[in-house]
Amino acid sequence: METILLLAHTETDGTLSKAGRETLAAALALSGDLSGAPVIVGLVSAGDAQAAADSIAGCGAAGFLAVTGPDFETARYATDAAAAEALARAAEATLVLAPATSRWARCLPGVAQRMNGRVDTHATAVTVEAGAPAVTRWYYRQRIEGQSQRVQRPWFILLEPGTTQACECAPGHAVIESVAVDVGDRMRRTSFCGWRAPRTDQQTIRPEAELLLVAGAGWTKKQADGQTHPADAERLILGFLDRTQASLGGSKSLVDLSGEGQAVLPFMTHLNQVGQTGSTPRHPKGLATCCHGEEPHVVGWRFIQQRRAVNLDPSCGWARGKADVLYVADAFAVMEELNKLLAR
Ligand SMILES: Cc1cc2nc3c(=O)[nH]c(=O)nc-3n(C[C@H](O)[C@H](O)[C@H](O)COP(=O)(O)OP(=O)(O)OC[C@H]3O[C@@H](n4cnc5c(N)ncnc54)[C@H](O)[C@@H]3O)c2cc1C
C-alpha cells in the first residue's frame, strides 16, 4: 500500500497557496485511484500552520504534520530540505507530492538523493496505470508527452501549477502533529537579507492572469508610413496590460532586440519570452499580436485554451494554423480601439 504525503509551505499570511491546493486535489484523486491509499498533509510554516491546516481540514487526509518556526519563514535550501526530509520520514511516505514552486523545485531533488529515493519534476499529471502510480510530463520543450513509472520509493513528484483544479475542501479544525527539525548554526549560514524586485508597475509576468498577451517583433518593424513607432507600441501594450491585468509574453525576436539595448520596448526581458527556448505558460486565453514565429505559436501557447491573433499578413501560417481566430488587421489600430473600449 502506498502512503501519499502532500508537501506544502504556507504563505506569509499563513494561508495555503492555490498551487498547494491543486497538488492536494491531485493527491486526493491519486488516493482514490489507489484504492484509498492514505494521504498525509505535511506543512512547513513560519507560524503554527493551524490556519492553513484548518482551511483544508475536511479534505479527508489521514493526518496533518507540520514543521514550524521562524527558521522556515523564507526559502533556504538547508532548512527546506531538512523539513521535507523530516516530514517524509514521519509520514513514512512512499509518494511525496509537492507543487513545483521554486522553493520545492530547488530542494526536493536533494532530499530524494538523501533518502535514496527518486524525483520527477515538471509533472503535469499523476495517474494510475496497471495498478501503480504513473507520472505524465512533457519533453523536448513541450512537444512530446511521456508517461513513466518507478519502483523506487520514496518517489518525489513536483506537480506544475495550473495543471489541476484546486481542492475546494471544507474548512474545519485540524489536529496537527508537530515534527521537530534540529536547525543548527550550519543551516543558518545562509540568511535572508531582503527583497530586490522590479517595481510593481513594471512587473508584466502574471501567472494567474486570465489572458496572455504575446507581443511579436512586428511592434518594432517599419509600418505603412515607413517609420517605426516604439513609443506607440509601448503605450498601447502597457495601456492594455494596465487595464486588463493580462500577463505579457514576447517572441524571441522581440526580447532579443530589447536585450541588445536598442530603442525598443525596454520593459520586455528574456523572462517574457514564450516558446521553445522560452516558457509555456498556462492561461485560459491568449492574444498574439504582430507575431509570426512557429515557436511562440506552436510551443509558447500550447497550453492556452482560447487563442486569437492579430497579424497584417493573411498568409501567416502559424497564426492561421494555431489560432482559433485570426484577425487580419493592423495591431496598432486594433489595440488603440481595444484600449478605448476598455477605458470605458
Ligand atoms: C532553436 C530555436 C529556438 C527558438 N525559440 C524561440 C522561442 O522560444 N520563442 C520565439 O518566439 N522564437 C523562437 N525562435 C525564433 C523563431 O523561429 C522566430 O524567428 C521568432 O519567433 C519570430 O518572432 P516574431 O514572430 O515576433 O517576428 P517576425 O517573424 O519578424 O514577425 C513579425 C510579424 O509581425 C507582423 N506585423 C508587423 N506589423 C504589424 C502590424 N502593424 N499589425 C499586425 N501585425 C504586424 C508581420 O506580418 C509578421 O508576421 C527560435 C528559433 C530557433 C532556431
User: pLDDT digit string (tens) for 99-150?
Assistant: 999 999 999 999 999 999 999 999 999 999 999 999 999 888 778 899 999 9
Q: How far is the CA of 120 from the centre of ligand 1 (A)?
A: 33
Average pLDDT over residues 15-19: 95
Q: For the chain, give the secondary structure using H, E and C.
A: CCCEEEEEEECCCCCECHHHHHHHHHHHHHHHHCCCCCEEEEEEECCCCHHHHHHCHHHCCCEEEEEECHHHCCCCHHHHHHHHHHHHHHHCCCEEEEECCHHHHHHHHHHHHHCCCEEEEEEEEEEEECCEEEEEEEECCCCEEEEECCCCCCEEEEECCCCCCCCCCCCCCCCEEECCCCCCCCHHHCCCCCCCCCCHHHCCCCCCCCEEEEECHHHHCCCCCCCCCHHHHHHHHHHHHHHHCCEEEECHHHHHHHHCCCCCCCCCCHHHEECCCCECCCCCEEEEECCCCHHHHHHHCCCCCEEEEEECCCCCHHHHHHCCEEEECCHHHHHHHHHHHHHC
What ligand 1 atom has the least distance to the C-alpha of 219? 38
Q: How far is the CA of 310 from the centre of ligand 1 (A)?
A: 13
pLDDT one-digit tens code per residue, 31-49:
999 999 999 999 999 999 9
Q: How far is the CA of 246 from the centre of ligand 1 (A)?
A: 20
pLDDT one-digit tens code per residue, 295-305:
898 888 888 99
The structure's pTM equals 0.78
The response to whether residue 256 sits with its C-beta less than 6 Å from ligand 1 reads: no
